[in-house]
Amino acid sequence: AQTVTQSQPEMSVQEAETVTLSCTYDTSESDYYLFWYKQPPSRQMILVIRQEAYKQQNATENRFSVNFQKAAKSFSLKISDSQLGDAAMYFCAYSWISSGSARQLTFGSGTQLTVLP
């Protein structure tokens, strides 16, 4: 069974500093997708970044980047130049094929990020 583990329930970072959120997963598949979503107090689930397992290059989106270590099954998120608006719950998610042709997401338990002014 696919499992996703986020070992940091809470993290804090000073504004303009860098923070790294950890995520590990367990799978027997060789081709899969990984995501980071953020959920601010509004509770809207917002896509932050996507990584395809077949790509060796780490994904980046502006101030957000990942460190994808396929052999170690690790997928950490780095937020550079942290801003107050980055404060949110961050979920790591693994995408896998269920019955039929739709993929499903398995989420980690989340990391609550606080940004300090």
Q: Applying CB under 8 A, which residues contact other proteins?
A: 33, 35, 37, 42-47, 50, 52, 89, 91, 95, 97-105, 107-110, 112
Question: Over the Cα atoms of the chain, what is R_g?
Answer: 14
Could you tell me if 86 and 60 are in contact, meaning their C-beta atoms sit under 8 angstroms apart?
A: no
- The least CB distance from residue 17 to other proteins, in Å, is 25
- The least CB distance from residue 69 to other proteins, in Å, is 20
Nearer to other proteins, 76 or 95 (CB): 95
Rounded Cα distance, 86 and 84, in Å = 5
Nearer to other proteins, 85 or 100 (CB): 100
Distances (CA, A) of 10 to 19, 21, 100: 12, 10, 36
